[in-house]
């Protein structure tokens, strides 16, 4: 707690909160990263659920590189946003819920890739039911993470005394 | 009717009044705007990256089958965008980030229209390893650039509130 209070009053944290441009620019990175991670995940899940069966699942490998890039961008910009409000943010339920949902969204994509292992080359062939469940879970979890993320701004409280 | 009259009229429509009075409509609109953004970005990446030659061994036809997600995402964002605008037209209209964003959406639309009118059929014939023509690649590059800047301007829009020019 003392560390968080110290972090909050560092020059960098103060600058993040008080500068006119720092916050919007960090949010820009966060929005682009979201588009890459969630957008590519949605398309992948749609494909797993049976959409565009002529599109080879293996072709997503190149897009995953881009999705990981987006994820790295959002981890970095997310840490910067957290550093701006190191005490208020962890005390906001929407923030904690968002982190948990992102963790489970990641896990669901990992489970999805496990379920598809060795079966990706069969094109129109049946995708295992487990993979479809993981795909639906991942869509729901990303939607939840976006809802929770948007709620942070509306529900963040005053700095704890 | 002057510009101010039109903006007042939009602000006083039942939609504008409802959004301002509601506790949740604006926030829900923002959340949907993010989901729409993700659908648009995900779909357009597949189409444009295939045209640019990054996704090899995929027929253009199967890449283009993700286009409906782009259209659904765009419609969601158009509708939620109208909702935001109706809530506070006086803030959006003079905002330079808003003006530039709308202009770039128009350019992205014209770019997509030209592609659909003149190149769609030719593109559908591209097989697994076929390269797109230079015209198609330029169109895909422009499309990605326009949508990236549209996204950035949307996120920067509140920071330009009250200003009438960039910087």
pLDDT of residue A20: 87
What residues of chain B lie within 8 A of the CB of A154, using their CB? 27
Mean pLDDT in residue range A106-123: 84
Start-to-end Cα distance in chain A:
11
What confidence category does residue A121 fall into, taking pLDDT thresholds of 50, 70 and 90? low
What residues of chain A lie within 8 A of the CB of B58, using their CB? 55-56, 59
Residue B165 has pLDDT above 80, yes or no: no
Q: Residue B139 in contact with residue B68, Cβ under 8 Å?
A: no
pLDDT of residue A124: 53
Among A57-61, A134-138, B145-149, whose mean pLDDT is lowest? A57-61
pLDDT averaged over chain A?
A: 92
What residues of chain B lie within 8 A of the CB of A146, using their CB? 31, 34-35, 38
pLDDT in tens, B105-126: 999 999 999 999 988 888 888 8
pLDDT of residue B56: 76
With a CB-CB cutoff of 8 Å, which residues 73-132 of chain A face chain B? none
Residue A94 has pLDDT above 70, yes or no: yes
How far B162 CA lies from chain A's nearest CA (Å)?
13
Residue A147 has pLDDT above 80, yes or no: yes
Nearest residue of B to residue A27, measured between CA atoms: B155
What residues of chain B lie within 8 A of the CB of A36, using their CB? 41, 45
Residue B10 has pLDDT above 90, yes or no: yes
Whole-number CA gyration radius for chain A? 19
- HEC secondary structure over chain B: CCHHHHHHHHHHCHHHHHHHHCCCHHHHHHHHHHHHHHHHHHHHHHHHHHHHCCCCCCCHHHHHCCHHHHHHHHHHHHHHHHHHHHHCHHHHCCCHHHHHHHHHHHHHHHHHHHHHHHCHHHHHCCCCCCCCCHHHHHHHHHHHHHHHHHHHHHHHHHHHCCCCCCC
How far A14 CA lies from chain B's nearest CA (Å)?
18
pLDDT of residue A159: 76
pLDDT of residue A122: 58
* Interchain CB distance below 8 Å, B65 and A51: yes
Nearest residue of B to residue A25, measured between CA atoms: B156
Q: What number of other Cβ atoms are within 10 A of residue A110's Cβ?
A: 12
Residue with tokens 């469940």: A133
How many Cβ contacts (< 8 angstroms) between chains A and B? 100
pLDDT averaged over chain B?
A: 93
pLDDT in tens, A4-45: 999 999 999 999 999 989 999 999 999 999 999 999 999 999
* Residues contacting residue B100 through CB under 8 Å, at least 6 positions apart: B153, B166
Give, for B58, the enclosing helix (H) or strand (E). Answer: none
Mean pLDDT in residue range B36-54: 96
ipTM of the complex: 0.93
Q: In this predicted model, which residue has the larger pLDDT, A158 or A77? A: A77
Residue with tokens 């080879």: A56
pLDDT of residue B128: 84
pLDDT in tens, B53-73: 998 789 999 999 999 999 999
What percent of chain B clears pLDDT 90, i.e. is strictly above it?
Answer: 80
């Amino acid at each position: 707690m003392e560390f968080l209070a110290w972090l909050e009053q560092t020059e960098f944290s103060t600058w993040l909160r008080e500068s006119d441009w720092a916050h919007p620019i960090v949010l820009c990175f966060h929005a682009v990263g979201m588009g890459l991670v969630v957008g590519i995940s949605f398309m992948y899940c749609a494909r797993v659920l049976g959409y565009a069966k002529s599109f080879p699942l293996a072709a997503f490998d190149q897009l995953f590189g881009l999705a990981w890039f987006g994820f790295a961008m959002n981890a970095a910009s997310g840490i910067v946003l957290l550093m701006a409000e190191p005490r208020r943010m962890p005390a906001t339920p929407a923030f904690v819920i968002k982190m948990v949902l992102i963790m489970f969204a990641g896990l669901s994509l990992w489970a999805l890739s496990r379920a598809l292992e060795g079966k990706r080359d069969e094109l129109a062939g049946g995708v295992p039911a487990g993979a479809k469940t993981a795909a639906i879970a991942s869509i729901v979890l990303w939607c939840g993470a976006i809802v929770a993320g948007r709620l942070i701004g509306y529900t963040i409280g005053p700095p704890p005394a | 009717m002057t510009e101010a009259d039109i903006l007042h009229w939009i602000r006083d429509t039942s939609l504008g009044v409802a959004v301002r009075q509601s506790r949740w409509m604006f926030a829900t609109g923002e959340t949907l705007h993010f989901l729409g953004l993700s659908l648009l970005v995900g779909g357009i990446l597949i189409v444009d990256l295939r045209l640019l030659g990054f996704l090899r061994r995929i027929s253009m036809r199967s890449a283009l089958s993700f286009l409906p997600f782009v259209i659904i995402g765009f419609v969601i964002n158009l509708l939620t965008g109208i909702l935001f605008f109706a809530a506070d037209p006086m803030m959006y209209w003079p905002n330079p980030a808003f003006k530039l964003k709308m202009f770039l959406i128009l350019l992205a639309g014209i770019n997509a229209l030209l592609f659909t009118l003149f190149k769609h059929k030719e593109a559908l014939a591209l097989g697994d390893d076929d390269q797109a023509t230079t015209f198609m690649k330029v169109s895909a590059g422009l499309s990605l650039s326009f949508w990236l800047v549209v996204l950035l301007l949307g996120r920067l829009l509140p920071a330009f509130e009250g200003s009438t020019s960039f910087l």
